[in-house]
Amino acid sequence: MLHVVSLAAVAVVVVLYAVAGVLAVTTGRAVPWQRGYLLRPRLWGSGALLFGAGMALARYGGSVRDLTASDIVFGCSLLMLVSGGVLQYVGRRVGRLRV
């Protein structure tokens, strides 16, 4: 049961990240809760897409049975998560932090 709940939770988060990323990349506008904080919404959106794909790949990596393939999948997902986070950070305005 916990496996199904975690799968559903990750799926919801990945879909929300994908929707926010596609909106930012295609239209150049940010989602409403990020509008005042983003300097480059297209860059932030591509980071959101990469981060969401990394989360989905990490979730898939848990079901891979081969140990070597699992290590490769987790390494790639970690690289995607870090790269997406860096792109999202670079796309934000300098000095604008939430308090």
What pLDDT was estimated at residue 70?
85
Q: Which of 28, 60, 62, 61 has the alpha carbon at shortest distance from 42?
A: 28
Tell me the three state secondary structure of residue 98. coil
CA 89 to chain centre: 12
Tell me how far apart the alpha carbons of residues 60 and 55 are, in angstroms, rounded to a whole number. 9
CA distances from 32 to 18, 23, 29, 35 (A): 15, 11, 9, 5
Tell me the three state secondary structure of residue 31. coil
Q: What is the mean pLDDT of each run of 10 residues along the chain (99 residues)?
A: 81 90 90 83 93 91 83 93 94 69
